[in-house]
Structure 1
């Protein structure tokens, strides 16, 4: 039987970390060979000249791939660079120790669920590439929506990990606390935001080509979903789960880049379309939300810091958390 531990190490957790990294590398390889500039491309043309949610309906699905670009290029390069750094940090925790043992498992900030969700995400990413390449748009939409869903799970798992171990990290490993916030949570947030937007792009194409909806109506539907999601996220991150999402700051910049880049290349100020006006309003709202978010974070960081008043006596150690979890499992 496969042992759960090997000395201070957790064999299962190590295996999941290694498998997560391997799947990430395989996913990048698939993206590279998906076509020139498809994903790992920093081309401004791909990011800014492709209408965000208004792909020309007169264009055939076959011509969507001519020129070697998919509608979702550009920003993917930034995402994968960030995620590469994230994985480098996670791997570094397997080589470092806390006072309780190996840092990747004591404390186990990133749970088994986090790595399982990540592996599923990479498989879905590869599946989406294959479906998109074969122009199976409805199935591609489902896969892309599931990618976004698993990304939200990753954020939830990381927040739960910091809820359990954040105070301890703040006391004994503050640099690692900030690495998790910046590299893991904000990196995943960039990935989540863009896959959410990409899902809406894919949704618009499905509405146009499969449902026969007009280009303008399809764009309006998708933009309405984006508006609802932006408002819901603003409420959740600032008032409902503020302590868990306080330092997640990369959501609005991704929305702003996508909307502003699209407006720059496609907005006709002399005769703005309904979608163009909608995008302009959304851009203004995203900028406002981002300004409010940064202001609230700065104020709360100074006036209401997290873990204020915690001492070595009232901080729950990683070993105590593990014992409670083991007790719950066998109760």
Structure 2
């Protein structure tokens, strides 16, 4: 565990606000559909000007890529006749639970757990309690409760938990996930397919801390013979070049460092994040390749008409430094064929 730097922690939390504002901008310009993001924005964020086209397109590609994999995860579980669990680590102002809960596969979700700094979970819990649109998707209001001084929120499916992910998971996560109901059963069943989401979180952690986090989940889900554990990471990588130096300098000026990026100099190195923990399969793809190969031509044409994008070379340069890595650990040999299907499919135009 690496000692926290209070100023650095505040700066990391600010990156969540940046991402939320970027998402609102992309939604307002018509790149993505997210009716829930405005309810979770930090105070005053809606007053900020729209982001430039480069940021909007990047937000679109990120969103499209992660959505494809998460939706496919839900689809595979549905096909297998199973409910699933999703654990979003460093979730910030993310709206994914509400987008799933309002969609066609809401019933596939047995549990959706979000973990973040207590400062972030307090703000999110307050926003959820204030918003009728968010609250109604949590189910019966009698079954929704706040605890731990407003840092924690529980509902039948959705749970919001405060933790510092850099701490030993046995001390920070284990007690939080120990029980969620009157019968004392654990919040997460190790028999249900479970997807771990890491969107722009591991880059801010030291590699040994993120390794310990993934190893803890692997151990948690290793006791059930039919268990399936998936991991999905979105982050920057390969920052040893001129672009990376500029990014490091800009972030350093804001008191943000990226210790988690250092071991990953290339796309080929990214899957080791999961394979070294015994995952059955793991792959990685840059956002540039997602945009080129995995987004329908009709969609690319649609977004090209939203705003004029002059700097296509600059866009490619940015997208080449962000990647989505996904992997799955399947304990049961019979289930491996199904889960090998999980991944990006070339777009059919």
- Give the TM-score of the pair, scaled to structure 2: 0.31
Structure with the higher helix share, 1 or 2: 1
- Give the TM-score of the pair, scaled to structure 1: 0.33
Structure with the higher strand share, 1 or 2: 2
